[in-house]
Amino acid sequence: MTKQLHKKFSVEEVKMLLQKYLDEKVKLVYILEMLGVKRSRFFELLKEYKEDPDNFSIQYKRKRATRKISKDLEKNIINELKKEKKLIEDREIPITFYNYSYIKDQIYQQYEQKVSLPTIINRAKKEGFYKPRQKKRKSHDREVLTNYIVRCTPVIGQIKLE
């Protein structure tokens, strides 16, 4: 996978290549290969460059900040984690770990908000609600200790204990 244009080249380098193309010093095929873009993207860049060469930029502008969640969603995640914590701490209920998928489902059903599972887990760690899953115990053979002798006599299709 190739890097994005603004990460591979500076604005000045792209301007220089576009100007060389306009001056017919470099062929289109060479520039496409150099920049690593398709024809349509190249001509979009060329159009922007022709309109305003001095303010031309290849920097990517996001419409909104990434990795941000709303304050309401944050509050709802914490509330659901608190509910789960009460269940886990209750000795009468045999729950030993958080079910983060359940919390995700509850947030969607109750508040109609979508949130990713890693976000919930990160908030749980940050707020002190994280409880790592216990490692699975090593399976073992069960051994029955008894003082009695058990005799087995085979019966057709079954084992008969006497």
Residues 38 and 79 in one domain: no
Q: What is the mean pLDDT of residues 1-18?
A: 83
Average pLDDT over the chain, rounded to an integer: 83
Residue 110 domain boundaries = 71-127
Query: Is residue 137 in some structural domain?
Result: no
Query: Is residue 152 in some structural domain?
Result: no
Residues 39 and 83 in one domain: no
Query: Is residue 108 in some structural domain?
Result: yes
Given a contact cutoff of 8 angstroms between Cβ atoms, the answer to whether 70 and 123 are in contact is: no
pLDDT tens digits, residue range 22-71?
Answer: 999 999 999 999 999 999 999 999 999 999 999 998 887 777 777 788 89
Total number of domains in the chain: 2
Query: Is residue 40 in some structural domain?
Result: yes
Query: Is residue 150 in some structural domain?
Result: no
Residues 122 and 93 in one domain: yes
Residues 78 and 123 in one domain: yes
Query: Is residue 96 in some structural domain?
Result: yes
Looking at residue 1, what is its pLDDT? 43
Higher confidence at residue 73 or residue 97? 73
In the chain, the largest separation of any two C-alpha atoms, in whole Å, equals: 102
Residues 122 and 80 in one domain: yes
**pTM of the predicted structure, to 2 decimals:** 0.48
Query: Is residue 140 in some structural domain?
Result: no
Closest CA to 45 of 25, 16, 23, 24: 16
Q: Quick one: CA torsion of 142, 145, 149, 152, rounded to 10 degrees?
A: -10
